[in-house]
Amino acid sequence: MSIKRAVIVLAAGRGTRMHSTLPKMLQPIAGVPLLGRLLSTVSQLHAAKTIVVYGEHGEALQQALDTEGRFVWVEQAEALGTAHAVLQALPHLEGCDQVLICYGDVPLIRVETLNRLLSLVPVDALGFMTMAVPNPQGYGRIVRNTQGEVLRIVEDVDASAQEKIIQEVNAGFFVVPSSHLVQWIPKLVQNAGKTEKKSEHYLTDMVAMAHQAGIKVDSVQPIDSWEVSGVNDKVQLAALERHFQRSEATRFMQQGVTLLDPDRFDVRGEVTIGQDVTIDINVLLEGRVSIGNHVSIGPHVSIKDSVLEDGVKILANTVIEGATIGPGARVGPFARLRPGTVLWHDVKIGNFVELKNARIGFGSKVNHLSYVGDALLGSHVNIGAGAITCNYDGHMKHQTTIEDKVRIGANTSLIAPLTIGHGTVVGAGTILKGDVAAGQRIHNRVQHRIVDNVLPQKNMASQQQKKD
């Protein structure tokens, strides 16, 4: 029988300990908001519906994370605990057999771990995650009988001295039959305030209710305790960030990537890396990045939304965004490739060169201190030091086309739109406006001349005295 499952994501935390104007659920882990990372994971479960319970900043969360309307958003107007939060979602569970309850500030849970929990818990049983910690202070303790059956979860504030020494603690992530959930949650909320629990509506009290009703209670533990670690402040956020980055570094090294220092390597996106790739220190990969085989990336390099094909060499302090770099190309040091840049085979881009929306043909070189924007360069073109394409007239961008085997001298200004024909040589210092036919030699350098008496008279007299 196919199980129709719903996911409830509890995301109503105010995040006051973040001390930030950015909502807690939008604080980033590896460039992705906390809640966004969790939603991406639970989306892989293909549940019938995913319900997000939010507190403040609901509109901001939806705009950032759900422009396509994939999730059901429900407000918890008052922060009265986790059971009260689930209560807000109950009207949306009609037709569902089973409910998975997750936490929006626990971003590193793996879909494999959630699937293991779901597969081990029958549809008519209650299941949840636990973990063993050496210092359980602050956690809900798992109380079992002598047969090992779970009796209840007792919160740290309510635990007795004997219960406080228990090291198995609640890690959250409950799986509950929806028919039981809709019965238990209203009772939990109604009973709040009748004990010493300070009117908190504890979701964990479901465990005791299930045991008393004779319903089977199962528990599983994650392989890595970091999977169920939550975020309440910037210290915990930074700790999870470092753990995530080291995990990514380990994954790539296991695939054969050479990282010269795994602790100084960061990934903030979807990255694929081929064989025999070497990456130096302080390299940042963002967005969608594809790196081929036999690629070398130097230190202090940033690469975003780009493709590096086989044999590419990126030298130190280079910034690349939205570019495609062809086989055997060499870029840097201190180069900047902006969106729309395409380099063909064996192109060389040197130090302090900036490219934007430029297609550079086979074997061409832009080696020093140049800007090439909105340009199409053929093969075996050489751009001299300090040359620039003047592509913007204050209102519009214009294209420069440079055909094969053209040589552009140092300190030239190419005022677009223009086309320079095959094999043309443009002399150093030329200001070029208008098309040039193939095979031409062109320059318009102004002859220099010496201007007398440019210094003040007293300085000239002083210089004359020195000569005397």
Catalytic residues: 368
Q: Residue 32 and residue 100: Cα distance in Å, rounded?
A: 22
The residues pairing with 168 across neighbouring beta strands, listed in sequence order, are 132
Question: Mind spelling out the 3-state secondary structure of 275-343?
Answer: CCCEECCCEEEEEEEEECCCCEECCCCEEECCEECCCCEECCCCEEECCEECCCCEECCCCEECCCCEE
Q: What is the DSSP letter of 44?
A: T
**How many helices (H) does the chain have, and how many strands (E)?**
9, 37
Q: Residue 315 and residue 257: Cα distance in Å, rounded?
A: 17
- Beta-sheet strand order (sheet of 278-279): 258-259, 278-279, 296-297, 313-314, 330-331, 348-351, 365-368, 382-383, 407-408, 425-426, 441-442
Q: Residue 217 and residue 284: Cα distance in Å, rounded?
A: 45
**Residue 238 contacts residue 255 (beta carbons within 8 Å):** no
Q: Residue 105 and residue 422: Cα distance in Å, rounded?
A: 60
Structure token digits, residue 337: 């490739």
Q: Residue 200 and residue 6: Cα distance in Å, rounded?
A: 25
CA angle, 417 as apex, 413 and 421 as ends, to 5°? 80
The residues pairing with 325 across neighbouring beta strands, listed in sequence order, are 308, 343
**Residue 404 contacts residue 421 (beta carbons within 8 Å):** no
CA angle, 384 as apex, 333 and 382 as ends, to 5°? 90
**Residue 390 contacts residue 373 (beta carbons within 8 Å):** no
Q: Residue 183 and residue 196: Cα distance in Å, rounded?
A: 23
Q: Residue 430 and residue 446: Cα distance in Å, rounded?
A: 9
**Residue 8 contacts residue 45 (beta carbons within 8 Å):** no
